[in-house]
A and B are shown apart, each in its own frame.
Chain A
Amino acid sequence: MTTPEPHSGNVWPIWEVFVRSSRGLSHVHAGSLHAPDAAMALRNARDLYTRRNEGVSIWVVPADAIASSDPDAKGAFFESPQGKDYRHATYYTKSEGVKHL
């Protein structure tokens, strides 16, 4: 388990919490919390985010270990897939009516 850069004094770093609500599903971001290290972050997450049976598995990630896309690149970064309908089954109409296809 990794631990983020320790913060000085008595302020604990932020962790992002991901919860798998039941087997077969992916972990979903549930929220964040403060904890001194990964072991305590997991326990705090268990106490805080699964006290009503919300989950069967938890991930905790140091908040500053997450890399994210540039918020200003909304258009450019996500533009390319638009208009490429040939990636979608609905693009292929000639086979309509053919069974099991």
Chain B
Amino acid sequence: MSTPETTETAALAEETAGHGDISVGVAGSSNSGEATASATRITPGNALRPEDIALAVSRGTAKPSEDAAELALRLGDDALILAQRLGHWISRAPELEEDIALGNIALDQLGHARSFLSYAGGLDGRSEDDLAYFRREHEFRSVELFEQPNGDFAVTIARQFVVSYYQFELYRRLAQSTDATLAGIAAKAVKEVDYHRDHSAQWVLRLAHGTEESRTRMIHGFKVIWPYVDELFRDDELTARLSESGVAVQPSSLRADFDRLTGEVLAEAELDVPQVPAAPGGGRRGFHSEHLGYLLAEMQVLAREFPGASW
């Protein structure tokens, strides 16, 4: 920033000097032990980022097989659609603290989506944005659970509860994948999803045991979400091939752990597993619920107004 030199602006410039330097908490305070104990010291940390995947793909150091790319597309689409849903809560949550919590979960999901999609695009050179913004509805591979509307807070929590217990079991195993890139993405994601499990479980307990109203709403939330649980665990030809080559396990093999762990929380919440018929689904083959079209229309509108533009 350039400002005319006066004593006053010099003072301001000095104050601003640390601004924009995220290492300021470390470097700027090396003279004082107390200051290094600062609770405001911030760092970007060190973890696998979507950009790293995209870079590895563009350099050719990471290239998915056709099957691995299809799996990455499925998982990327799941996470992307959920992030889009969760993003709506920011500025609308029941309390400010929860705005932040749901924002964190949405950002985690969006990060996973970007990594998976970047990798999936490695098959034919498409970018994460090509895949997110320029595919048509029937080309998306997400299952129906993820596109379910937010509903009230209880519906959102029910959806998140199912998603995070499913994703935890999935990523935990995918971290052992013979595909190094998928394993890397999953290893980072599983830690974040573990926290999502905790967050949603805490809320399931509070809503179930809170007030009469919250219990009624929680029960309703599970009732509207549960028809879409089955689809998460369906095997098909792709997953059979992936399982054979050690890239990913069959979805059906996650079910027992999912049932056991969600069952523990539901038991503590004194809630029954809803007895509702499973929806036929079809998202993995491009057959979606009525909700997805609207979600995509909103998400893609601007990018499609300016095809080929850079942002």
B-contacting residues of A (Cβ < 8 Å)? 12, 18-19, 21, 25-31, 33-36, 39-40, 43-44, 47-49, 51-55
The residue among B38, B39, B41, B101 with the most chain A CB atoms within 10 A of its own CB is B39
Query: Is the CB–CB distance between B41 and A21 below 8 Å?
Result: yes
CA distance A48 to B202 in the complex (A): 17
Q: Does B44 reach chain A (CB closer than 8 Å)?
A: yes
The residue among B41, B101, B104, B202 with the most chain A CB atoms within 10 A of its own CB is B41
Number of interface residues, chain B, beta carbon within 8 A: 21
Q: Write the nearest CB–CB distance from A54 to chain B, whole angstroms.
A: 6
CA distance A19 to B25 in the complex (A): 14
CA distance A14 to B189 in the complex (A): 32
Q: Does B188 reach chain A (CB closer than 8 Å)?
A: no
A-contacting residues of B (Cβ < 8 Å)? 22, 36-45, 95-97, 100-101, 104, 198-199, 202, 206
CA distance A40 to B22 in the complex (A): 29
Q: Which of A21, A35, A54, A55 makes the CB contact (< 8 A) with B97?
A: A35
The 8 closest A-B pairs by CB, nearest first: A30-B39, A52-B42, A19-B39, A28-B39, A44-B97, A25-B37, A53-B45, A53-B43
Give 6 pairs: A residue, B residue, CB < 8 Å, sorted on A: A34-B95, A44-B100, A48-B100, A51-B100, A52-B22, A52-B44
Query: Is the CB–CB distance between A25 and B101 below 8 Å?
Result: no
A-B CB contacts (within 8 Å), total count: 58
Query: Is the CB–CB distance between B206 and A36 below 8 Å?
Result: yes
Known: A21-B38, A28-B38. A48 touches B45 (CB 8 A): no
Query: Is the CB–CB distance between A54 and B40 below 8 Å?
Result: yes
Chain B residues, Cβ within 8 Å of A36: 206
Q: Which of A18, A35, A39, A44 makes the CB contact (< 8 A) with B39?
A: A18
CA distance A38 to B202 in the complex (A): 12
Chain A residues, Cβ within 8 Å of B199: 43
CA distance A55 to B40 in the complex (A): 9
CA distance A28 to B44 in the complex (A): 20
Query: Is the CB–CB distance between B97 and A48 below 8 Å?
Result: yes
Chain B residues, Cβ within 8 Å of A53: 42-45
Query: Is the CB–CB distance between A47 and B42 below 8 Å?
Result: no
Chain A residues, Cβ within 8 Å of B40: 30, 54
Chain A residues, Cβ within 8 Å of B37: 21, 25-26, 28
Chain B residues, Cβ within 8 Å of A44: 97, 100-101
Q: Write the nearest CB–CB distance from A95 to chain B, whole angstroms.
A: 25
CA distance A36 to B101 in the complex (A): 15
Give A17's nearest chain B residue, CB to CB: B39
CA distance A89 to B268 in the complex (A): 60
Known: A39-B202, A43-B202, A53-B45. A33 touches B97 (CB 8 A): yes
CA distance A54 to B22 in the complex (A): 11
CA distance A26 to B38 in the complex (A): 9
Query: Is the CB–CB distance between B100 and A47 below 8 Å?
Result: yes
Chain A residues, Cβ within 8 Å of B38: 21, 28
CA distance A48 to B39 in the complex (A): 12
Q: Which of B22, B44, B45, B101 makes the CB contact (< 8 A) with A47?
A: B101
Known: A48-B100, A53-B44. A12 touches B39 (CB 8 A): no
CA distance A35 to B22 in the complex (A): 29
Known: A36-B206, A39-B202, A54-B42. A25 touches B36 (CB 8 A): yes
